[in-house]
Amino acid sequence: MKKPRPKHTKARTKTRQGRVLVVTSGKGGVGKTTSAAALGAAFAQNGQKVVLVDFDVGLRNLDLVMGAERRVVFDLINVIKGEAKLAQALIRDKRLETLALLPASQSRDKDSLTEDGVARVIVDLRTLFDWVICDSPAGIERGATLAMRHADVAVVVVNPEVSSIRDADRIIGMLDAKTAKAESGQRVDKHLLLTRYDPVRARRGEIMKVEDVLEILSVPLLGIIPESGEVLLSSNVGAPITLGSPGSEPAHAYLEAARRLKGEGAEIALAREKSGLLHRLFTRRAA
């Protein structure tokens, strides 16, 4: 009599569903690209699989900050148009094996970015990486709206100055209105990253104080990146600050910001100071 064969059940394979994080700003020159690179490297330093996607079509600076400019063969537009496979365009970082870059194109214009094409790429990247970090161009044009389109999380980068805060407020409005989550009745998880902050200048009233910025924008604070020449030095040699100058204050601030995005970091304690002139200029009078 034959023994009955044991029943085999198919093992369920868990499909990776990475989170999409957009690093955005209303104003250029606030440290958005260096922040995207630093956060991406910080995640990868903790063993998570990360891809940095450059949406700044026509300019392309993320590859410079990552030290990969000589290794670009194919780019995001090539993948969207079917001219290259995703695997061909991804550039693996030589320092961190879990970090990759999908560069932007320098020779195409922003109209080459299509909503369907971006959606397909993001879907594929979600299955390969824990974090898909979209480095958005500054402002509100097509590249910026498509960079934030599929975001689960947004990091809004601002400097403590009037024009940066005003433009960031508009970006926050777009995150609440023009993303896929917003259209389905959900909200993008938003965080504020304050860069180039100098507490001495803030006390003198030369720049806005942290609490004034938070009161105006009403977005939770992710981190404060101090003013430091080491950030620029690291970018110039093609290294995120967490790799180029790991012992520096900005590197520590970015590492802590990455931990907070993962839900692990401690909250930032702020000492209240008297409101400055710039805050009073922004504060609306009660009716």
Q: What are phi and psi of 254, to 5 degrees?
A: -70, -40
Is 66 inside any structural domain? yes
Is 254 inside any structural domain? yes
Is 44 inside any structural domain? yes
Domain count, the chain: 1
Answer whether residue 103 shows pLDDT above 90: yes
Distance separating alpha carbons of residues 225 and 222, to the nearest angstrom: 10
Is 245 inside any structural domain? yes
Q: What is the pLDDT of residue 16?
A: 72
List % helix, strand, coil for the chain (3-state, nearest 5). Answer: 40, 15, 45
Take residue 58 and report the two structure tokens written for it. 């026509």
Distance separating alpha carbons of residues 188 and 174, to the nearest angstrom: 10
14 band by pLDDT with thresholds 50, 70 and 90 = low
Is 272 inside any structural domain? no
Q: What is the pLDDT of residue 28?
A: 86
Distance separating alpha carbons of residues 257 and 40, to the nearest angstrom: 11
What is the tens place of the pLDDT at every residue in 153-178? Answer: 999 999 999 999 999 999 999 999 99
225: containing domain: 20-263
Extract the runs of DSSP E, i.e. beta strands, from 17-161: 19-24, 50-54, 91-92, 99-102, 131-135, 153-158
Nearest to 240 by CA among 251, 248, 252, 229: 251
Please state, for a pLDDT cut of 70, what percent of the chain lies above it: 87
Nearest to 187 by CA among 179, 198, 195, 199: 179
Q: What is the pLDDT of residue 278?
A: 41
Is 282 inside any structural domain? no
**Whole-model pTM?**
0.87
Residue 166's contacts (CB-CB under 8 Å, 6 or more residues apart) are: 26
Is 220 inside any structural domain? yes
Average pLDDT over residues 17-43: 95
270 band by pLDDT with thresholds 50, 70 and 90 = low
The answer to which of 110-124, 133-147, 232-246, 263-277 has the lowest mean pLDDT is: 263-277
Looking up residue 95, the CATH number of its domain turns out to be 3.40.50.300
Helix (H, G, I), strand (E, B) or coil at 246: coil
Please state, for a pLDDT cut of 90, what percent of the chain lies above it: 75
Answer whether residue 4 shows pLDDT above 60: no
Is 80 inside any structural domain? yes
Q: What is the pLDDT of residue 141?
A: 82
